[in-house]
């Protein structure tokens, strides 16, 4: 008899991963009872086999394709219950920390089914974990390479209930050279000269788009990039990227 092939469990962290401790704490503090309902459209949107077994695996071992199938299913406009969300949240955080997407449509919707960014919804221990995760994740993406777009991450946390001004402040607090590299990758490194521009994701609600673009195009960020571009202390490549970012902001302001 042929042996059944066991597929590796995707979206798991190794013990030496920088996020391993945060995610371990998440599994500890979000020990919700196993729900009896998925909180999403039943007998319709999910793969019937996945839906029937959705609560079968231990939450530590829930397959990535189960989670993605759950995100593909429709839910009420206000999201899902805290009982469902709190149970799934540690696995969602681990998948995100591993670099995988929990939803096929994009990172931005990953935390949008419950107001995770509101401390009033959690115990002190739970909020401590969420706050640590959010700050570490945003900074990691700010310092990452071409595999991410910072605005996608900003949108993900904003749609998850984190106050936009607090997220802006976290970005503002990053070093000038980190911002120059990040925004150069996101706005300029497209391989199409003359197409450089402030880029934001389409997932921003209409009521927030102007605030986000206004933050990126603010005179304060332009002044920081211009000062870095003219600094004798900055490496040539960093100065050039800062200059390019400053020019994008200038062109946006003129347009």
Query: How many structural domains comprise the chain?
Result: 2
Residues 17 and 75 in one domain: yes
Regarding whether 191 and 141 lie in a shared domain, the answer is no
Contact 23, 94 (CB under 8 A): yes
Q: What pTM did the predictor assign? A: 0.94
- What's residue 163's pLDDT? 97
Q: Is the pLDDT score of 2 beyond 70?
A: no
Question: Under a CB-based contact definition with an 8 Å cutoff, are residues 29 and 126 in contact?
Answer: yes
The pLDDT tens digits for 225-240 are: 999 999 999 999 999 9
Same domain, 103 and 216: no
pLDDT in tens, 49-64: 999 999 999 999 999 9
Residue by residue, DSSP assigns 12-43 as ---TTSTTHHHHHHHHHH--PPPPSS-SS-TT
Average pLDDT, the chain: 93
**Boundary (domain end) residue, out of 126, 146, 166:** 146
Are 183 and 137 within one domain? no
**Residue-level pLDDT at 191:** 58
Residue 155 lies in a domain: no
Q: Examine the domain organization and report whether 192 and 131 are in the same domain.
A: no
Containing domain of residue 198, as a range?
175-255
Helix orientation angle between 164-172 and 150-159, rounded to the nearest 10 degrees: 150
Last residue of a domain, one of 146, 164, 195: 146
Q: Which residues of 200-223 are buried (b: 16+ CB within 10 A; e: fewer)?
A: bbebbeeeeeeebbebbbeeebbe
CA atoms within 13 A on the CB side of 138: 23
Do 125 and 21 lie in one domain? The reply is: yes
User: Last residue of some domain: 125, 146, 167?
Assistant: 146
Report the 10 Å Cβ neighbour count for 85. 21
């Amino acid at each position: 008899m042929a042996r059944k092939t066991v597929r590796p469990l995707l979206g798991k962290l190794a013990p030496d991963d920088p996020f391993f401790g945060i995610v371990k704490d998440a599994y500890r503090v979000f020990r919700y009872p196993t729900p009896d309902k998925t909180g999403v459209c039943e007998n319709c949107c999910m793969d019937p086999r996945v839906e029937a077994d959705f609560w079968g695996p231990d939450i530590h071992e829930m397959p990535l394709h189960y989670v993605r199938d759950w995100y593909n299913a429709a839910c009420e406009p206000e999201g899902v219950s805290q009982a469902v969300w709190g149970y799934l949240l540690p696995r969602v955080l681990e998948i995100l920390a591993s670099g995988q997407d929990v939803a096929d449509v994009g990172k931005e919707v990953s935390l949008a089914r419950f107001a995770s960014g509101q401390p009033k919804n959690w115990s002190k221990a739970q909020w401590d974990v969420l706050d640590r995760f959010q700050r570490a994740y945003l900074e990691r993406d700010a310092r990452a390479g071409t595999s991410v777009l910072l605005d996608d991450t900003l949108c993900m946390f904003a749609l998850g209930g984190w106050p936009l001004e607090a997220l802006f402040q976290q970005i503002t607090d990053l070093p000038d050279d980190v911002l120059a590299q990040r925004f150069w990758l996101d706005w300029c490194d497209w391989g199409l000269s003359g197409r450089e521009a402030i880029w934001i994701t389409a997932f921003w609600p209409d009521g927030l788009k102007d605030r986000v673009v206004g933050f990126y195009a603010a005179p304060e960020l332009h002044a920081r990039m211009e000062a870095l571009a003219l600094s004798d202390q900055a490496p040539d490549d960093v100065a050039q990227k800062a200059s390019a970012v400053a020019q994008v902001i200038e062109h946006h302001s003129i347009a």
